[in-house]
Amino acid sequence: MPPLPCYLLLAAMLFAIGLAAALTRRNAIIVLIGIELMLNAANLNFIAFWRYGPNPETLRGVLFVIFAIGVAAAEAAVGLALIIALHKHFKTTHVDQVDSMRG
């Protein structure tokens, strides 16, 4: 098996790519996708640490990830509903065009 740092590096890269997608793309859905990628990177981190860490029989990491997936799914649903509502109101999904709440 590959050593732990490999998995961690992979997770870090995935995280960075997801962050880049969230920070640079105009479309709100892509931003959400980026967030999902980040979440997945974190999940990978958890599983890796679970596998390589002490006491893997407690299944802590696994359970955490299960719940994380559940939360992520709920969050994705709500977020997409928000984007749909946003689209209905502003007729656009570009994040840089929705700026009415400013000072």
Write out the binding residues for other proteins, residues 28-87 only, by CB under 8 A: 29-34, 36-37, 40, 43-44, 47-48, 50-52, 54, 56-59, 61-63, 65-67, 69-78, 80-85, 87
Q: How far is CA 29 from each of CA 25, 32, 44, 54, 87, rounded to the nearest angstrom?
A: 9, 5, 23, 39, 11
User: Min. distance of Cβ 25 from other proteins in angstroms?
Assistant: 6
In the window 1-30, what residues touch other proteins (CB under 8 A)? 1-10, 12-27, 29-30
User: Min. distance of Cβ 34 from other proteins in angstroms?
Assistant: 7
Calculate Rg over the CA atoms of the chain: 17
User: Min. distance of Cβ 55 from other proteins in angstroms?
Assistant: 9
Q: Which residue has the tokens 């007729």?
A: 91
Give the CA dihedral 83, 102, 21, 52, nearest 10 degrees: -90
